[in-house]
Amino acid sequence: MFARSTSFSGSPEGIDSGIEFVRDEVMPTITQMPGCVGMSFVIDRASGRCIATSSWASLDDMRASFNQLAPMRDRGADILGGAPTVDEWEVALMHRDHRSADGACCRVTWGRTSDIDRVVHGFRDQVLPQIEELDGFCSASMLVDREGGRTCGTVTFDSRAALDGSRDTAAQMRSRASEMFGVEFTDVAEFDLVMAHLRLPELV
């Protein structure tokens, strides 16, 4: 399985229009494309930052759709503000305790490493069991860019309160993971999950 994330660092004023655009135009279009499994959309109302992620059955299907979606990326930039950043990933891990509901939030953590497999196995075998014990845990995933040595991990919680309550523990987990698995964390951000239709299968 593969995924493409399209990130906008826009203005808070454009968020509601952006949600409407993704829900009413982007999602119906992209989910009809060959090989598309689904998509999700996360937002940070305070900063205007948002990320649309689509999931794909194969790398060929994902890349075949890129040029077809260029007009929508341009339209998204007009609505949300700021040129989009596009990243392509392999889905290395997906674990869902239960499906998310309204009010769900997520923490996304980006990293770099010289050993992707070490980080993935360490997250799966040692970190994930601890994450599962956190109050309000909903799901966790890890996307990887093997060529670029990059990782993108997402943990979803049932509510903003659960996300807030996990913040200190998550910071401690990152510190230990950095030492144990040789990963440098480059960014951490928290979002509201406004569309949860990525439809990835269990991959652990």
> Do 78 and 126 share a domain, yes or no?
no
Segment 155-164 mean pLDDT: 98
Would you say 3 and 40 are in contact if contact means Cβ atoms under 8 Å apart?
no
Instruction: Provide the pLDDT for residue 202.
Output: 81
With bands split at pLDDT 50, 70 and 90, how would you rate the model's confidence at 82? confident
pLDDT exceeds cutoff 90 at 200:
no
Q: If you average pLDDT over residues 170-185, what whole number do you get? A: 95
Residue 106 pLDDT > 90, yes or no?
yes
Strand partners, 4: 54, 88
Q: Residues near 32 by Cβ (< 8 Å), separated by ≥ 6?
A: none
Q: Look at residue 29 and tell me if it is in a domain.
A: yes
Residue span of the structural domain in which 133 resides: 92-194
How many structural domains is the chain composed of?
A: 2
User: So what's the pLDDT on residue 10?
Assistant: 82
**116 and 142 housed in the same domain:** yes
Domain boundary among 89, 106, 129: 89
Q: What are the tokens at 149?
A: 């040595």
CA nearest neighbour of 154 among 107, 99, 201: 107
Q: What is the average per-residue pLDDT within 136-163? A: 97
Pairing of strands 150-157, 105-113: antiparallel
In this structure, the answer to whether residues 133 and 167 fall within a common structural domain is: yes
Q: Report residue 96's pLDDT band, with 50, 70 and 90 as the boundaries.
A: very high
Among 30-34, 46-50, 189-193, 195-199, the least confident range:
195-199
- Residue 33 lies inside a defined structural domain of this protein: yes
Q: Are 137 and 97 in contact (CB under 8 A)?
A: yes
User: Length of the chain in residues, anyone?
Assistant: 204
Same-domain check for residues 60 and 107: no
pLDDT in tens, 59-80: 999 999 999 999 999 999 999 8
Q: Which residue has the tokens 């652990």?
A: 204
We report the CATH number of the domain holding residue 129 as 3.30.70.100
| Token pair belonging to 167 | 């913040």
Residue indicated by tokens 């953590």: 109
Of 89, 108, 137, the last residue of a domain is 89
> Which amino acid is it at 190?
E
| Lowest-confidence region among 10-14, 87-91, 95-99 | 10-14
Under the banding of pLDDT at 50, 70 and 90, the label for residue 116 is: very high
Are 96 and 182 within one domain? yes
151-173: average pLDDT = 97
